[in-house]
Protein backbone atom coordinates (compact mmCIF):
# COMPACT_ATOMS: atom_id res chain seq x y z
CA UNK A 1 0.00 0.00 0.00
CA UNK A 2 1.29 3.45 -0.91
CA UNK A 3 1.17 6.30 1.57
CA UNK A 4 1.55 9.89 0.34
CA UNK A 5 2.53 12.69 2.72
CA UNK A 6 2.84 16.36 1.80
CA UNK A 7 5.30 18.61 3.64
CA UNK A 8 5.12 22.42 3.43
CA UNK A 9 8.45 24.21 3.77
CA UNK A 10 8.32 27.10 6.24
CA UNK A 11 12.03 27.90 6.50
CA UNK A 12 14.09 27.62 3.34
CA UNK A 13 17.81 27.44 2.73
CA UNK A 14 18.28 23.69 3.18
CA UNK A 15 18.89 20.94 0.67
CA UNK A 16 15.77 18.98 -0.08
CA UNK A 17 17.24 15.72 1.27
CA UNK A 18 18.40 17.43 4.47
CA UNK A 19 14.97 18.99 5.02
CA UNK A 20 13.17 15.67 4.52
CA UNK A 21 15.60 13.68 6.66
CA UNK A 22 14.82 16.04 9.54
CA UNK A 23 11.04 16.18 9.23
CA UNK A 24 10.70 12.46 8.43
CA UNK A 25 13.40 11.33 10.89
CA UNK A 26 15.00 9.24 8.14
CA UNK A 27 18.53 8.97 6.79
CA UNK A 28 19.60 10.94 3.74
CA UNK A 29 20.47 7.68 1.98
CA UNK A 30 16.85 6.56 2.43
CA UNK A 31 15.63 9.90 1.06
CA UNK A 32 17.92 9.47 -1.95
CA UNK A 33 16.50 6.00 -2.59
CA UNK A 34 12.98 7.43 -2.55
CA UNK A 35 13.97 10.28 -4.83
CA UNK A 36 15.76 7.99 -7.29
CA UNK A 37 12.60 5.90 -7.52
CA UNK A 38 10.50 8.98 -8.34
CA UNK A 39 8.66 8.95 -5.02
CA UNK A 40 9.44 12.59 -4.19
CA UNK A 41 8.01 15.61 -6.00
CA UNK A 42 8.68 19.28 -5.25
CA UNK A 43 5.75 21.45 -6.37
CA UNK A 44 4.72 18.58 -8.62
CA UNK A 45 8.14 18.17 -10.24
CA UNK A 46 10.99 15.72 -9.78
CA UNK A 47 14.07 17.45 -8.41
CA UNK A 48 17.60 16.52 -7.36
CA UNK A 49 18.34 15.89 -3.68
CA UNK A 50 20.61 18.92 -3.63
CA UNK A 51 17.85 21.35 -4.62
CA UNK A 52 17.58 24.13 -2.03
CA UNK A 53 14.01 24.38 -0.78
CA UNK A 54 12.19 27.68 -0.33
CA UNK A 55 9.39 28.78 2.00
CA UNK A 56 6.05 27.67 0.55
CA UNK A 57 7.44 24.71 -1.40
CA UNK A 58 5.18 21.66 -1.29
CA UNK A 59 7.03 18.35 -1.15
CA UNK A 60 5.06 15.16 -1.63
CA UNK A 61 6.60 11.87 -0.53
CA UNK A 62 5.08 8.52 -1.47
CA UNK A 63 6.27 5.59 0.61
CA UNK A 64 5.36 1.96 0.11
CA UNK A 65 4.36 0.43 3.41
CA UNK A 66 6.00 -2.94 3.92
CA UNK A 67 4.27 -5.35 6.24
CA UNK A 68 7.35 -7.08 7.61
CA UNK A 69 6.69 -10.41 9.26
CA UNK A 70 9.28 -12.31 11.26
CA UNK A 71 9.27 -15.69 9.53
CA UNK A 72 10.68 -18.69 11.45
CA UNK A 73 14.36 -19.31 10.71
CA UNK A 74 16.53 -22.12 12.05
CA UNK A 75 19.15 -19.92 13.69
CA UNK A 76 21.00 -21.19 16.79
CA UNK A 77 20.40 -19.10 19.91
CA UNK A 78 21.67 -19.39 23.47
CA UNK A 79 18.68 -19.96 25.76
CA UNK A 80 19.70 -19.30 29.36
CA UNK A 81 16.30 -20.07 30.87
CA UNK A 82 12.72 -20.80 29.85
CA UNK A 83 9.37 -21.72 31.35
CA UNK A 84 5.76 -21.38 30.20
CA UNK A 85 5.82 -17.57 30.55
CA UNK A 86 9.28 -16.32 29.67
CA UNK A 87 12.56 -17.15 28.00
CA UNK A 88 15.89 -15.47 28.66
CA UNK A 89 18.29 -15.31 25.73
CA UNK A 90 21.99 -14.50 25.52
CA UNK A 91 22.05 -12.63 22.20
CA UNK A 92 25.24 -12.78 20.21
CA UNK A 93 26.98 -9.71 18.84
CA UNK A 94 26.01 -8.92 15.24
CA UNK A 95 22.40 -10.13 15.46
CA UNK A 96 19.56 -7.61 15.10
CA UNK A 97 16.71 -8.12 17.54
CA UNK A 98 13.90 -7.84 14.99
CA UNK A 99 13.28 -6.93 11.32
CA UNK A 100 13.46 -3.25 10.48
CA UNK A 101 14.75 -0.85 7.86
CA UNK A 102 16.84 -2.90 5.48
CA UNK A 103 16.77 -5.97 7.77
CA UNK A 104 14.26 -8.64 6.84
CA UNK A 105 15.77 -11.83 8.21
CA UNK A 106 18.45 -13.40 10.36
CA UNK A 107 17.18 -11.62 13.47
CA UNK A 108 16.52 -12.84 16.99
CA UNK A 109 12.79 -12.60 16.30
CA UNK A 110 13.19 -14.99 13.35
CA UNK A 111 15.10 -17.41 15.57
CA UNK A 112 12.51 -17.17 18.34
CA UNK A 113 9.71 -18.01 15.90
CA UNK A 114 11.52 -21.24 15.03
CA UNK A 115 12.61 -22.12 18.57
CA UNK A 116 9.34 -21.60 20.48
CA UNK A 117 5.78 -22.68 19.78
CA UNK A 118 4.22 -19.73 21.58
CA UNK A 119 5.26 -16.08 21.81
CA UNK A 120 3.38 -12.98 22.88
CA UNK A 121 1.62 -11.05 20.13
CA UNK A 122 1.81 -7.63 21.75
CA UNK A 123 4.72 -6.65 19.51
CA UNK A 124 2.88 -7.75 16.37
CA UNK A 125 4.25 -10.02 13.66
CA UNK A 126 7.52 -8.10 13.45
CA UNK A 127 8.48 -8.32 17.14
CA UNK A 128 6.94 -11.56 18.51
CA UNK A 129 7.86 -11.93 22.17
CA UNK A 130 10.22 -8.97 22.14
CA UNK A 131 9.81 -6.86 25.30
CA UNK A 132 13.03 -4.82 25.14
CA UNK A 133 15.96 -4.53 22.75
CA UNK A 134 19.71 -4.48 22.43
CA UNK A 135 21.75 -2.83 19.70
CA UNK A 136 22.84 -5.16 16.91
CA UNK A 137 26.49 -5.14 18.01
CA UNK A 138 25.75 -5.32 21.74
CA UNK A 139 25.71 -8.82 23.17
CA UNK A 140 23.90 -10.21 26.17
CA UNK A 141 20.65 -10.79 27.96
CA UNK A 142 17.20 -10.25 26.53
CA UNK A 143 13.98 -11.31 28.27
CA UNK A 144 11.31 -12.74 25.96
CA UNK A 145 7.60 -13.08 26.71
CA UNK A 146 5.79 -16.26 25.67
CA UNK A 147 2.30 -14.87 26.20
CA UNK A 148 0.57 -11.49 26.29
CA UNK A 149 0.07 -11.54 30.07
CA UNK A 150 3.80 -11.96 30.65
CA UNK A 151 4.60 -9.32 28.02
CA UNK A 152 2.38 -6.71 29.66
CA UNK A 153 3.73 -7.53 33.13
CA UNK A 154 7.33 -7.07 32.00
CA UNK A 155 6.48 -3.93 30.03
CA UNK A 156 4.85 -2.40 33.11
CA UNK A 157 7.94 -3.14 35.19
CA UNK A 158 10.11 -1.51 32.54
CA UNK A 159 7.84 1.53 32.50
CA UNK A 160 8.09 1.85 36.28
CA UNK A 161 11.88 1.43 36.07
CA UNK A 162 11.71 -1.69 38.24
CA UNK A 163 13.81 -3.84 35.92
CA UNK A 164 17.52 -3.71 36.71
CA UNK A 165 19.82 -4.16 33.73
CA UNK A 166 23.56 -4.30 34.35
CA UNK A 167 25.95 -3.90 31.43
CA UNK A 168 29.71 -4.40 31.24
CA UNK A 169 31.81 -2.23 28.92
CA UNK A 170 35.46 -1.60 28.22
CA UNK A 171 36.08 2.12 27.83
CA UNK A 172 38.85 4.11 26.21
CA UNK A 173 41.08 5.74 28.82
CA UNK A 174 40.34 5.83 32.55
CA UNK A 175 37.42 7.50 34.27
CA UNK A 176 38.50 9.89 37.02
CA UNK A 177 36.01 8.58 39.57
CA UNK A 178 35.47 4.97 40.59
CA UNK A 179 31.71 5.47 40.47
CA UNK A 180 29.20 8.11 39.53
CA UNK A 181 25.95 9.11 37.85
CA UNK A 182 25.23 10.61 34.44
CA UNK A 183 21.92 12.43 34.10
CA UNK A 184 21.28 14.14 30.75
CA UNK A 185 18.74 14.35 27.94
CA UNK A 186 19.26 12.15 24.88
CA UNK A 187 17.72 12.69 21.44
CA UNK A 188 18.56 12.61 17.74
CA UNK A 189 21.81 14.32 16.87
CA UNK A 190 21.14 17.55 14.93
CA UNK A 191 24.30 16.87 12.91
CA UNK A 192 23.61 13.25 12.02
CA UNK A 193 20.07 11.88 12.28
CA UNK A 194 21.39 8.31 12.41
CA UNK A 195 23.10 9.06 15.71
CA UNK A 196 21.86 9.92 19.18
CA UNK A 197 23.39 12.69 21.26
CA UNK A 198 23.10 14.63 24.50
CA UNK A 199 20.66 17.40 23.52
CA UNK A 200 18.38 19.67 25.54
CA UNK A 201 15.39 18.64 23.43
CA UNK A 202 15.84 14.93 24.19
CA UNK A 203 14.36 12.62 26.83
CA UNK A 204 15.79 12.15 30.30
CA UNK A 205 18.52 9.51 30.47
CA UNK A 206 19.99 8.31 33.76
CA UNK A 207 23.01 6.02 34.01
CA UNK A 208 25.01 4.89 37.04
CA UNK A 209 28.52 3.53 36.57
CA UNK A 210 31.17 1.70 38.62
CA UNK A 211 34.74 0.97 37.57
CA UNK A 212 35.55 -2.68 38.28
CA UNK A 213 39.05 -2.87 36.82
CA UNK A 214 41.64 -0.40 35.56
CA UNK A 215 44.32 -0.82 32.92
CA UNK A 216 46.96 1.52 31.52
CA UNK A 217 44.77 3.02 28.80
CA UNK A 218 41.35 1.49 29.51
CA UNK A 219 38.88 0.73 32.28
CA UNK A 220 36.27 -1.97 32.70
CA UNK A 221 32.98 -0.48 33.85
CA UNK A 222 29.60 -1.74 35.04
CA UNK A 223 26.64 0.37 33.92
CA UNK A 224 23.24 0.37 35.61
CA UNK A 225 20.74 2.18 33.40
CA UNK A 226 17.58 3.60 34.96
CA UNK A 227 16.11 4.65 31.60
CA UNK A 228 16.17 2.84 28.27
CA UNK A 229 17.09 5.46 25.69
CA UNK A 230 18.47 4.42 22.31
CA UNK A 231 22.27 3.94 22.51
CA UNK A 232 22.15 5.31 26.08
CA UNK A 233 25.35 3.76 27.45
CA UNK A 234 27.31 4.44 24.27
CA UNK A 235 26.20 8.08 24.20
CA UNK A 236 26.88 8.60 27.91
CA UNK A 237 30.30 6.96 27.62
CA UNK A 238 31.16 9.39 24.84
CA UNK A 239 29.72 12.26 26.90
CA UNK A 240 32.13 11.31 29.72
CA UNK A 241 34.99 11.51 27.24
CA UNK A 242 35.65 7.75 27.35
CA UNK A 243 33.75 6.00 24.53
CA UNK A 244 33.24 2.23 24.40
CA UNK A 245 36.10 0.32 22.80
CA UNK A 246 35.14 -0.93 19.33
CA UNK A 247 32.21 1.46 18.94
CA UNK A 248 32.18 2.34 15.24
CA UNK A 249 29.53 5.04 15.70
CA UNK A 250 30.50 6.87 18.88
CA UNK A 251 34.04 5.65 19.47
CA UNK A 252 37.51 6.44 18.21
CA UNK A 253 38.25 6.31 14.50
CA UNK A 254 41.44 4.33 15.13
CA UNK A 255 40.91 1.20 17.21
CA UNK A 256 43.64 -0.83 18.92
CA UNK A 257 41.82 -4.14 18.63
CA UNK A 258 40.28 -5.93 15.67
CA UNK A 259 36.65 -6.09 16.67
CA UNK A 260 33.31 -6.53 14.92
CA UNK A 261 31.54 -4.11 17.25
CA UNK A 262 31.61 -2.42 20.63
CA UNK A 263 32.75 -4.23 23.78
CA UNK A 264 29.41 -3.74 25.49
CA UNK A 265 27.65 -6.72 27.06
CA UNK A 266 24.26 -6.92 28.80
CA UNK A 267 25.54 -9.01 31.68
CA UNK A 268 22.68 -9.27 34.16
CA UNK A 269 18.94 -8.62 34.43
CA UNK A 270 16.64 -8.68 37.45
CA UNK A 271 12.84 -8.48 37.40
CA UNK A 272 9.75 -9.93 39.03
CA UNK A 273 8.52 -13.11 37.39
CA UNK A 274 5.19 -12.39 35.62
CA UNK A 275 3.43 -15.33 37.30
CA UNK A 276 5.06 -15.80 40.70
CA UNK A 277 5.90 -12.16 41.44
CA UNK A 278 9.22 -13.29 42.87
CA UNK A 279 12.42 -11.46 41.96
CA UNK A 280 14.56 -13.41 39.50
CA UNK A 281 18.07 -12.66 38.25
CA UNK A 282 19.78 -14.02 35.16
CA UNK A 283 23.39 -13.63 34.09
CA UNK A 284 25.07 -14.04 30.70
CA UNK A 285 28.79 -14.92 30.56
CA UNK A 286 31.16 -12.46 28.91
CA UNK A 287 31.76 -13.40 25.24
CA UNK A 288 35.08 -15.03 24.36
CA UNK A 289 36.25 -12.14 22.14
CA UNK A 290 35.62 -9.74 25.04
CA UNK A 291 37.58 -11.94 27.46
CA UNK A 292 40.51 -12.16 25.05
CA UNK A 293 40.88 -8.37 25.01
CA UNK A 294 40.72 -8.28 28.82
CA UNK A 295 43.35 -11.03 29.05
CA UNK A 296 45.62 -9.04 26.73
CA UNK A 297 45.25 -5.91 28.85
CA UNK A 298 45.90 -7.82 32.07
CA UNK A 299 49.11 -9.30 30.69
CA UNK A 300 50.26 -5.85 29.58
CA UNK A 301 49.55 -4.51 33.05
CA UNK A 302 51.69 -7.20 34.66
CA UNK A 303 54.67 -6.62 32.39
C-alpha distances in angstroms, 238 versus 6, 166, 250, 275? Answer: 37, 18, 7, 39
Helix, strand, coil in percent for the chain, rounding step 5:
20, 30, 50
Q: In b/e form, how buried is each residue of 113-140, taking b as 16+ CB within 10 angstroms?
A: bebbeebbebbeebbbbbbbbbbbbbbb
Whole-angstrom distance, CA of residue 194 vs CA of residue 190: 10
User: What is the three-class DSSP state of 223?
Assistant: strand
Which DSSP string corresponds to 224-276? Answer: EESS--TTHHHHHHHHTT-PBTT-TTTS-SS-SS--SS--EEEEEEEEE-TTT
How far, rounded to the nearest angstrom, does the alpha carbon of residue 178 sit from its chain's CA centroid? 26
Active site residue ranges: 135
Parallel, antiparallel, or unpaired for β 179-188 and 203-214?
A: antiparallel
Which of 240, 259, 262, 247 lies closest to 174 in space, CA to CA?
240
Amino acid sequence: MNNETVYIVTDGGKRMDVFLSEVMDKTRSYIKQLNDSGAILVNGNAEKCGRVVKPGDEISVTETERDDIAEPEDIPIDVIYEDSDIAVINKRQGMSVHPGAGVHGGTLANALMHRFNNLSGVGGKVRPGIVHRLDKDTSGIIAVAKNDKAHLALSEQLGRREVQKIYLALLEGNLKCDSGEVRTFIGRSPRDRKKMAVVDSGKEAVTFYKVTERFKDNCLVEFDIKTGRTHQIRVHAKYLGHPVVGDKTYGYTKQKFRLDGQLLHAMRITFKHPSTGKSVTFTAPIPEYFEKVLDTLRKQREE
